[in-house]
Amino acid sequence: MNQINSRKVVQLSHGGGGKEMNHLIKDLFFKAFDNPILRNEEDAAVLHFNGDVAFTTDSFTVAPLFFSGGDIGKLSIAGTVNDLAMMAAEPQYLSCSFIIEEGFEIAKLKTIVESMAKELKQSGARIVCGDTKVVPRGCADGLFINTSGVGRILRKGISVKNLACDDVIIVSRDIGRHGAAILMAREGLALDSELTSDCATLWPIVEQLIAANIEIHAMRDATRGGLSAVLNEWAQASDVEINVHEEAIPVCDEVRGLCELYGFEPFDLANEGTFILAVPKESADATLEIMKRFCHCEQASIIGDVNENRKGKVVLNTPWGSTRYLDLPQGELLPRIC
């Protein structure tokens, strides 16, 4: 009976350092993430770099683990790779650590790991080290993942502090999809729609912009806190006013409907494959052309610009001709969104 269970669910012995753990690592993780550095099986990966590198880390506790458009595995790779991409760093090496609750289905774990391997191919990054811990039932909610990553910086000078007067603000696609998709899955909503999370690796788009020599002053993926958080962080860090136009911000009908139902604003909802750029006004048309022609960003739009009037503030112009400050979101709209 125990042998049958060990094939179907994760047991404490899978984290005990013995045969079961060895089988789990070799048959699942090594098979999915196979590369020469990982196969060395040393205590630490040996890496070589030339020039400046970016380094980032993130932990993923999203609930539910599977949602429309992705799962925790895809999210854990895209999230860390995107943090590197937003610094114009080519994603190269990742680590991953799993904290698994005793009794977690091995079939689900396999699906998640395969999802991670598939998403890695979008950027060419490799997982070169990792860790596995199994905790008793009740000590974790199924599965948590931590991923860290390093990448070689291909373009220096991209920073939250580099917005300049007359820059334009561009959003890569419609906003709020990830937050809305998680909300829909968590609440068991059965909407007559095909709303999916925007969860995706952004490096291929950024790579095209760098190759085209587009001047980029700032770039950030609009994850927790959404568009509102990014714009407020930029306005304060660069000591400028950011002026945005509500009608220019793309929002799909499904997200708008859920926001009306729950009293949210789409500007505050999380995204996991949508990013914001600040570029000089004279580079705006070329930026949009590349994003739309080569990167499938058909909804990429100029949503605002930068001035020095009310420094540190984000001003939203409504479709009715009024204006208001777009503030940082307050409280926790949706815990465990990523």
Distance CA 242, CA 227 (A): 12
Q: Locate 172 and state its tokens.
A: 């890569």
Q: What is the average pLDDT across 270-298?
A: 94
Task: Kindly provide the residue ranges of all beta strands, DSSP E only, lying in 165-300, ordered along the sequence.
Answer: 168-171, 218-221, 241-245, 275-279
Distance CA 101, CA 150 (A): 28
| pLDDT, tens digit (0-9, with 9 covering 90-100), for 1-47 | 455 565 799 999 999 989 999 999 999 999 999 999 999 999 999 99
Q: Given this model, what pLDDT does residue 108 score? A: 98
Q: Given this model, what pLDDT does residue 4 score? A: 54
Q: Given this model, what pLDDT does residue 192 score? A: 65
pLDDT confidence bin for 295, thresholds 50/70/90? confident
Q: Given this model, what pLDDT does residue 1 score? A: 46
**Assigned CATH topology for domain 9-153:** 60s Ribosomal Protein L30; Chain: A; (3.30.1330)
Q: Is there a shared CATH topology between the 9-153 domain and the 167-325 domain?
A: no
Share above pLDDT 70 across residues of the chain, in percent, rounded to a whole number: 97
Q: Locate 32 and state its tokens.
A: 């999915």
Give the chain's mean pLDDT. 94
Q: Given this model, what pLDDT does residue 187 score? A: 80
Q: What is the average pLDDT across 300-322?
A: 97
Q: Given this model, what pLDDT does residue 186 score? A: 86
User: Contact 179/199 with Cβ under 8 angstroms?
Assistant: no
Q: Given this model, what pLDDT does residue 331 score? A: 79
Q: What is the average pLDDT across 98-127?
A: 98
pLDDT confidence bin for 160, thresholds 50/70/90? very high
Distance CA 172, CA 267 (A): 14
Looking from the CA of 327 toward its CB, the CA atoms found within 13 Å total 4
Q: Locate 81 and state its tokens.
A: 């790779």
Residue ranges per structural domain of the chain: 9-153, 167-325
Share above pLDDT 90 across residues of the chain, in percent, rounded to a whole number: 89
Distance CA 211, CA 88 (A): 11
Q: Locate 254 and state its tokens.
A: 């499904």
**DSSP state, residue 230:** H
> Does residue 270 have a pLDDT over 50?
yes
User: Contact 149/91 with Cβ under 8 angstroms?
Assistant: yes
> Does residue 293 have a pLDDT over 90?
no
Distance CA 337, CA 70 (A): 12
| pLDDT, tens digit (0-9, with 9 covering 90-100), for 224-258 | 999 999 999 999 999 999 999 999 999 999 999 99
Q: Locate 39 and state its tokens.
A: 């196969």
Q: Given this model, what pLDDT does residue 332 score? A: 75
Residues 6+ apart with CB under 8 A from 248: 301, 302, 303, 304
Best CA proximity match to 156, nearest among 42, 306, 53: 53
**Assigned CATH topology for domain 167-325:** Phosphoribosyl-aminoimidazole Synthetase; Chain A, domain 2 (3.90.650)
7-to-11, 37, 104, 105, 300 alpha-carbon distances in Å? 9, 28, 11, 9, 47
Number of other CB atoms surrounding residue 145 within 10 Å: 26
Interior/surface letters 172-182, b for 16+ CB within 10 angstroms, e for the rest: bbbbbbbbbbb
